[in-house]
Structure 1
């Protein structure tokens, strides 16, 4: 803040002097370092987890595959950039094409780029890589050197959690059998999300890659009904319970047992099975999350037919009583769809983009209301949903008296949550309709039985995939007889600089220890003999001047030099927005992947938080030329620069100008 001479004359105290006359003490050692021309602190290269990765429920190495796409990390083994990035991505998530379309992307919400302009389109890059893999018929393969363990694992449920476990365990050499009560695998990816959001050909291809690894599949089998759990325990060395929560929760209001009041899970299952081909003229959905949006948009697309017989009403088809034959050839009209939410519209849990699209398609969304009862007609069917307005009193939502009104309805759909079918497995119900687990996803008191997905905690598909990845590690340790130990504080798939050096032929040398006598003798001739055990600056048995904090630390934007990054608009995917008139009968995909050129441009917007991306700032600005580029033959990703400590004076400039926060002034602590 500048001050004019006139202002200083009015108020002499406003001279902004850092120290008073005669003061000789520093307020803190940090001030001393920044005011001095040298310090005992020198640069250290510290790997941290970026917030995108820390926010990803599947734990993808997002920074890693973005750096591959942008050209910072070069492919190894003669494969294309796309394949190399895809293999890095799928080390944590085997469904990139599906998740690139439907995941609400908490990684993008966490992206540090939001502090500069707009988040990096991580989902867009994932979508592109997934499509490339499908187009080029890329396959998974068990890594060379992995031997069959002879251990067998039973996986109950073929949804995202179960398939993720099967994928990870097969790569570790274990034999897996998936038991699923449905006719097809996929769980909520298939039966809970409409096909115009998750194209079935894409889903089938990504599932088949996992099965092709040698996973055995047994469909139309319900563990607890068709096969007892005791039998599974006898036949298998470990069990993973990932049967999901595919039963819906009914409305807890009077009249909810009317036949035309159904759950969202039943509604979507009937639609995805191909049985539900039209709905009533007026459909009311209660919810506020992504599932309620899916139900509403499906209802708008299905519409209704004027000539439907009573036996062809939607609730009968949802209950599985009859099939629609006439609907396919009958003229359809649009359905009036109303979505009711306890939350204000702008605070709904559903993805904002999906909410905006629903509004554009003619769906009416009413916020801050709650169901009170179902109005039932003389025939026992629901004719309306009675609701009341909500207001916030003392931090809690309460019904505002005198605000009740009816919303007419031919079909009412409850999308207020999911439930687990515990038939035959009642002993696992923790009293909350779910299964409990410890930090290793093992069921307490049930050695060898692990759990993940919605049956543990209903959440995102990506969350279930992440549960499967971590549970697979725990199962692998269990089958090997190892102590499960502790899980990392930040439990994701990390970039490993040692693994990278091994991959490019720069593996650390074997450490050669020396006896005390040899050390004593060598110390007397330190000028003539390279001791080799007093540090790592010369020897090759360790990575010099490097610390990996990624298992415990997510780097915030405050540790980056954001001034390095200019405003760069996000490259957005094309999306077909439909009007209320266009939506009827429209079941084509609306989201288009980026092209190869644009996806590279978008990846370049990544700030590579917590890892060097070779900008050269530290080399250029070092006044002592102490920071230098590592020779090309010896450098690799994350080890692009080094420091000559005989020249370093600890001026901190390299750390100040490092855009990614990879340089910390830590030496000398």
Structure 2
């Protein structure tokens, strides 16, 4: 009987399995013909691909388990706070990252092989907003008497300050701009990052104490590196990249109404620019270019004015007063097809809905200028990509009229006054521990290493903080980083939290002698192996047939139409309600960690797999195996949805 089209369209997992994947072989053979196997089950923790894909290494699987109330907090702690603590072990900005991170974790999610990824961002936003509403605070570690200078108060600098304060080190933040937040404040528009919530997440770090802040202070100009070195035990460079890259066409630098996306967004986010050009053209394709064109559609232009549209962008002392605007014509060009643009897919769709024209697979070839040297248009042509470089197609040229052209094709560092630290790309070199080579006591993190995502900067800051901690301890950084360098779930820590730590073993005092072969004594974590530091679990290690269709809980969005976008600056994303956040967390397949489904207990033909007593159980210790009963039939491993059970004992 043919499957109905309704079922195929609503049960997406129907189309995700290869023929035969839903059929079992002979269990008789497994039980009776394989009972001579020397292998028995062991419980193996691996890193899930969501976490492995997260540049800041959040324990995503862990905090999703807490949100769905499968992993229980300590007595007296609400699950909302417990999820917040687990999330912020890696990243102190859950409210911000839940909004603007392009979510490589969701691209890596194994649930994509069933029907659709888990909405990780939406649950993280719920965790972050709930934490702000409930006033959760961070705690600093016991003071070490050491002090670290952090140059730059953006995501990398603030994340490093947070991690260093947790370790007990005092910090001084030197920020060249008028406020903290970096690109989160001065690079991303307020309708994507609400300034009140950003301010609260930054303040929560400052409230840890022993965080001194020096705003409007540029190192290398207002204060020398030598002065900072004298008053601090280590220095972290987190200055970001605030120099936009111009188009690779003639006369870019000489044309006054050609500006970079970095400068354009900074003028808007500082509150100075309240209107733009009549016809705006932006060249890009990434998230910055989407922000530029979306801002331009919201600002509009002033009819009948003689004011130059680039004036305020290029003059940080200038500011618009009270004005009335009308919509601007806004065009975005991209080298790549619209489906392959690097900007987040939903941001591209929102821009189109807001009235932005997107021309894809085209390249700029010439700035069209008038007699005064001002741009009146941008000549573009269809292009093909050859060895990663665009090549124009003859005969496809066209001119897009423009009174301001914005380049959003990348950014670099501003190393004026810091030339001794700059490499050939005007960035700062870093080793694997994020030390600055040949500069003892100097470390670096964030875009100034290599421009990338906010969450990448936060992840680098965490590693740099570990390295600084090692350096402050004995003057060296020799810690070996794990192959999978993330914030791992630690079963020993979980057992300690639950009051279930293994007993100390001493064969001379226990009266039991040498018990290395036992699984009954409580002197070790038996039949468990932690491979999370070395391996990421793939979808072919899971029993995907266990998971039924479960539609994703989409966040609501208030995206204005092209007729509504002018002046529309309130937030687009609407946070999930608690019930829907918990339901979304239940879609997590807990890859590489037991989520207490009971399959192994139910299907074991020998009753060898059993539930651990409730008084002795915790996450990762829900079931165990009686090896005197186990015959090595592998069924428990076959039916384990999460791939937590491996047939490894005896090897």
Q: Please state which band the TM-score falls in when normalised by the shorter chain.
A: over 0.9
Task: Give deviations 1:9-34, integer Å, cap 9, x for gaps.
Answer: xxxxxxxxxxxxxxxxxxxxxx9999
In 2, Cα distance between equivalents of 1:325 and 1:227: 32
Structure 1 residues 508-533: Cα deviation after superposition (integer angstroms, max 9, x where no partner): 2223154xxx9xxx9xxxxxx73243
Tell me what 1:17 maps to. none
The Cα offsets for residues 215-253 of structure 1, whole Å up to 9 and x where unpaired, read as 111111111111111221222111100000011111221
Is the counterpart of residue 210 in structure 1 residue 205 in structure 2? yes
Do structure 1's residue 259 and structure 2's residue 256 form an aligned pair?
Answer: yes
Instruction: Check whether the contact 1:172–1:476 (CA below 8 A) recurs between aligned residues.
Output: yes
Matched, 1:502 2:504: no
The alpha carbon displacement at 1:460 in A equals: 0.6
Q: Quickly say closer, same or farther: Cα 1:382–1:396, change in 2 above 3 A.
A: closer
Residues of 1 paired with 2:491 and 2:506: CA distance?
22
> In the alignment, is the contact (CA less than 8 A) between 2:34 and 2:632 conserved in 1?
no
DSSP 3-state at the match of 2:330: strand
SS of the residue 2:282 aligns to = strand
186, 189, 192: which one aligns with 2:184: 189
C-alpha displacement of 1:314: 2.3
In structure 2, runs of 5+ residues without a counterpart are: 1-28
Q: After TM superposition, where is structure 1 displaced by more than 6 Å over at least 4 residues in a row? A: 31-34
Give the conservation status (yes or no) of the 8 Å contact 1:388–1:403: yes
Name the TM-score, length of structure 1 as normaliser. 0.90
- 2:196 paired with 1:201: yes
Instruction: Kindly indicate whether residue 299 of structure 2 is the aligned counterpart of residue 302 of structure 1.
Output: yes
Q: 1:483 to 1:513 in 2, by over 3 A?
A: farther
What is the RMSD of the two structures over their aligned residues, measured on CA atoms? 1.7
Secondary structure at the counterpart of residue 616 of structure 2: coil
Aligned position for 1:466: 459
Question: How far 1:507 moved relative to its partner?
Answer: 1.4
TM-score by length of 2: 0.93
Residue 217 (structure 2) aligns with: 221
Relative distance call for 1:440 and 1:387 in structure 2 (3 A) is same
CA contact 1:276–1:314 (8 Å) conserved in 2: no
Q: Are 1:484 and 2:478 an aligned pair? A: yes
Separation in structure 2 between the aligned mates of residue 389 and residue 34 of structure 1, nearest angstrom: 66
Matched, 1:398 2:391: yes
Alpha-carbon distance in 2 for matches of 1:77, 1:59: 27
Residue pair 1:241, 1:450 contacting (<8 A) in 2 also = yes
What aligned pairs does 1:231-380 form with structure 2 within 5 A after superposition? 231-257=227-253, 258-309=255-306, 312-320=307-315, 323-326=318-321, 328-330=322-324, 332-380=325-373
Quick one: distance in 2 between partners of 1:85 and 1:123?
Answer: 14
Deviation at 1:488, TM superposition (A): 0.8
Which residue pairs with 2:37 in the alignment?
39
Matched, 1:161 2:143: no
Q: Which consecutive residues of structure 1, in runs of 5 or more, have no partner in the other structure?
A: 1-30, 523-528
Deviation at 1:112, TM superposition (A): 0.4
Q: Using the TM superposition, give the Cα deviation of residue 541 of structure 1 relative to its aligned residue in structure 2, in angstroms.
A: 2.5
2:526 paired with 1:544: yes
Q: CA offsets, 1:284-319, max 9 Å, x none?
A: 00111000000000000000011323xx32211111
CA contact (8 A) 1:255 1:375 kept: no
- Is the 1:167–1:210 Cα contact (8 Å) retained in structure 2? yes
**1:408 corresponds to which residue?**
401
Deviation digits for residues 457-494 of structure 1 (CA, Å, limit 9, x no counterpart): 10111111111111111111111115422111111001
How far apart are the structure 2 equivalents of 1:97 and 1:79?
20
1:394 offset after TM fit, Å? 7.3
Partner of 2:379: 386
Who is 1:126 aligned against? Answer: 124
1:34/1:64 CA distance change after superposition, 3 Å:
farther
Which is greater in Rg? 1
Deviations 1:126-160 (A, max 9, x none): 00011101111111112xxx421111100000000
